[in-house]
Structure 1
Amino acid sequence: MNSIWELDTFYRKRDIIIIGSGFSGLWTAISIKEKYPEKSVLIIERNTIPLGASTRNAGFACFGSLTEVIADSQKMGWEKTLELVKMRFEGLQKIRKYFKNDEIDFDLNGGYEILNNEEPLFHLDSVNEKLKAITGLDQTYTLKQNKIHEFRLEKSEFLIENPCEGSLHSGKLLQKLLEKCHELKVEFLFGTEVGNIEETANEVEVYLSDDLSVKADQLIYCTNAFTSSFLKKENIVPARGQILLTEPIEGLKLKGTFHYDEGYYYFRNVGNQVLLGGGRNQDFKTEETTAFETTAFLQNHLENFLKEVVLPYTDFKIALRWSGIMAMGDEKTPIVKQISERQFCAVRLSGMGVALAPKIGEMVAEMI
């Protein structure tokens, strides 16, 4: 049983409850409190820290590689693709507006893509033309053959550079967002699992156990890959991204963030270490899971990729291995909508949560 003190404070009724304290949950809370400072906002998170993909990603500040943008345009059409690229680009700008580079280890060191066939190069001019209105650059993507040798990527045929992309420290970004939330008087219940949710004409009741609940006027799901336990009808497929990180490498030449194969592989330097993730297109079915594990098959595959493509002339040892869970679907457009009189969702960020969440927060604040 709970005391009157607990029920009057921690478990009292709020204006808004957000489930999930990852990037989308935190940015949504910030956008709401900036727009409606008088509203009380509670974020409920089942883990002791934000988890999912937010603290388990690769720390890329990117909005789409050339081949990814081409593939998306062929699947979704140019209108939706450009809308998405614009959201990601503006989301990255917003992060930099809110936080100083050194607070979140933001490094605008360029985004690169390795190509081993020239077909995407035929689209270079037309894609640049379409992105001009978003990035303000005549050439968002340029061919940078001289950097292949500089980065010691000699096993690669072509290298495309995007000067608008870079890297950041996901943990530090989350910490700064949490600080901002505290500053705006957003409240939290960490380590708290949500059970049943009941909506009536007047309120939403969120059950934390059989005899304990918190009520609110409105509820927002920011649960990304973990949404299906709440919203069964939405088209959301969990997608695990496995990652490894090398021990420090003396005289490492690699600097920047790199993509390969429509973004299915991604690697970067973290100081003088190399972080590599992806490869789930080698084993789609196994990786459609919410289990935070790594598999011998994919870890071996990633190590081989490291040997053959990223560090072909360098000995390395692996320091860390981890995985994060992204949310995918039939297309990459996020699901941001009202789902009932008092419930909303902002989910399915397709592996681009860092860039999308700042803008998604604004969209939800407009909706409520």
Structure 2
Amino acid sequence: MAMENATFSIWEKESYLGPRDVVIVGGGLVGLWSAWFLKQAHPALTVTLLERGLLPSGASTRNAGFACFGSPSEILADMALSGRDAALALVDMRFRGLEMMRRLLPDAVTGFEACGGYECFTSASVLDRLDALNADLREITGVYPVFSPADERLASLGLTGFDHLIANPLEGALHSGQLVRALTARVQDLGVTCLTGVTVQGWDEGPTGVRVRTDRSFSLEAGRLLLCTNGFTKELLSVDVTPARGQVLVTAPIPGLKLRGTFHFDEGFYYFRHLGDRVLLGGARNRAFAEETTAVLETSPTIQGALEAFLRDHVPQAAGVPINHRWAGIMGMGAEKRPLLKAVSDKVFCAVRLSGVGVAISPLVGSQAADLVLGKA
């Protein structure tokens, strides 16, 4: 202990490693939004954000770049599982979170594109429930209808193997890297210290604060500690959060690509979109739930093969086109989809379990997490 921090200069210790009012663990979207709202509420607050990876290690920069609040089959499945009120509360959180993001960060900064969203179907089972669903969503969005049949667009969008298409004009796409980069720059401008490549191993609570232990040759003293570790939370805390791997691929450019918009299929377990003149496709986790319940950031032959088969079956323009990019991200799931915000103690808090929709709900979760840390919740 006597040698801890010994390799750092006095300038580094005082500028980067000194005591902080708040230490945030996790440099993804929830951690960044939490830092933003903490500094907005109290500009003089000293905040350090610690990220285990060189870049955010979970899903914030490793997702598919969807700005969506729920497809019809997903919302109906959530209603069946959790009840109507709970399912609509989740939709409301996502919708308000996206509105908050677009209000605070210009679309040009995040690469947001109001391209509309769609859900593809191989049966008509959902169509007779659209009127009731649209009535529910009008209370949230102020728009009626949100969901409309659009079967006639299937051919013009270059899709095959589907019988029905439902359109949603309120959804869109964005550039996840630009979003995180812009938000990081803004919190740094507010005075937040961001340190990457630092894994938190645990903490010790004392009468006046928390000593945060890391895998580097330093620890940090903080008045309060906020965990925004999502799919990696169980490494630090025993809570209802399970890692869930989401895999993605991107094709080479396709001249004359017809596909435009964000698309879901099978209750959202498959999701695809245009990325310029390329096709981005992710999901298929339901093909191997056990295999994908992992925090290992690697792709697998099982899921990548399922994604390639989906492309062949449903996006014929992509047939035979090389796959130029493959990656995986780690989401945080649980027994319920609602985000988990709680006080672990009077000095330690967590804001985790984003359930695969972190882009949409992270601004709202970050705002609520800041209130929790500041004793306003």
Deviation for aligned residue 1:301: 1.1
Larger CA deviation: 198-207 vs 272-281: 198-207
Deviation for aligned residue 1:94: 1.4
Q: Distance in 2 between matches of 1:58 and 1:184?
A: 28
In the alignment, does 2:352 pair up with 1:347?
Answer: yes
Name 1:108's counterpart in structure 2.
Answer: 114
In the alignment, does 2:78 pair up with 1:72?
Answer: yes
Name 1:123's counterpart in structure 2.
Answer: 129
SS at match of 1:197: strand
Q: Which amino acid aligns with 2:277?
A: N
Matches within 5 A, 1:1-368: 1=6, 2-209=8-215, 212-232=218-238, 234-311=239-316, 314-368=319-373
Deviation for aligned residue 1:309: 1.3
Deviation for aligned residue 1:312: 6.2
Q: Which amino acid aligns with 1:8?
A: E
Q: Which amino acid aligns with 1:126?
A: A
Asked if 1 retains the 8 angstrom alpha-carbon contact of 2:114 and 2:173, the reply is: yes
Asked if 1 retains the 8 angstrom alpha-carbon contact of 2:200 and 2:214, the reply is: yes
Change (3 A) 1:147 1:211: closer
Give the fraction of aligned pairs with identical amino acids, expressed as a percent: 43
SS at match of 2:126: helix
Q: Distance in 2 between matches of 1:106 and 1:157?
A: 29
Deviation for aligned residue 1:92: 0.8
Asked if 2 retains the 8 angstrom alpha-carbon contact of 1:280 and 1:298, the reply is: yes
Name 2:3's counterpart in structure 1.
Answer: none
Deviation for aligned residue 1:314: 4.4
- Residue ranges of structure 2 left out of the alignment (5+ in a row): 1-5
Q: Which amino acid aligns with 2:301?
A: A
Larger CA deviation: 235-244 vs 94-103: 94-103
Asked if 1 retains the 8 angstrom alpha-carbon contact of 2:254 and 2:317, the reply is: no
Larger CA deviation: 253-262 vs 97-106: 97-106
Larger CA deviation: 96-105 vs 344-353: 96-105
Q: Distance in 2 between matches of 1:172 and 1:274?
A: 19
Q: Which amino acid aligns with 2:74?
A: E
What per-residue deviation string (whole Å, max 9, x for no partner) do you get for residues 104-155 of structure 1? Answer: 2110100100011111112111111111011111111111111111102132
Asked if 2 retains the 8 angstrom alpha-carbon contact of 1:243 and 1:322, the reply is: yes
Q: Distance in 1 between matches of 2:216 and 2:250?
A: 43
Asked if 2 retains the 8 angstrom alpha-carbon contact of 1:112 and 1:257, the reply is: yes
SS at match of 2:214: strand
Change (3 A) 1:274 1:202: same
- Residue ranges of structure 1 left out of the alignment (5+ in a row): none
Change (3 A) 1:97 1:317: same
Asked if 2 retains the 8 angstrom alpha-carbon contact of 1:19 and 1:45, the reply is: yes
Asked if 2 retains the 8 angstrom alpha-carbon contact of 1:30 and 1:181, the reply is: yes
Larger CA deviation: 174-183 vs 254-263: 174-183
Asked if 2 retains the 8 angstrom alpha-carbon contact of 1:144 and 1:159, the reply is: yes
- Relative to the length of structure 1, the TM-score reads 0.97
Asked if 1 retains the 8 angstrom alpha-carbon contact of 2:204 and 2:210, the reply is: yes
Asked if 1 retains the 8 angstrom alpha-carbon contact of 2:226 and 2:348, the reply is: yes
Asked if 2 retains the 8 angstrom alpha-carbon contact of 1:155 and 1:312, the reply is: no
Asked if 1 retains the 8 angstrom alpha-carbon contact of 2:343 and 2:349, the reply is: yes
Q: Distance in 1 between matches of 2:92 and 2:363?
A: 12
Deviation for aligned residue 1:9: 2.3
Asked if 1 retains the 8 angstrom alpha-carbon contact of 2:245 and 2:294, the reply is: yes
Deviation for aligned residue 1:51: 2.2
RMSD in angstroms over aligned alpha carbons? 1.3
Asked if 1 retains the 8 angstrom alpha-carbon contact of 2:24 and 2:31, the reply is: yes
Q: Which amino acid aligns with 2:371?
A: E
How many residues are treated as equivalent by the alignment? 367
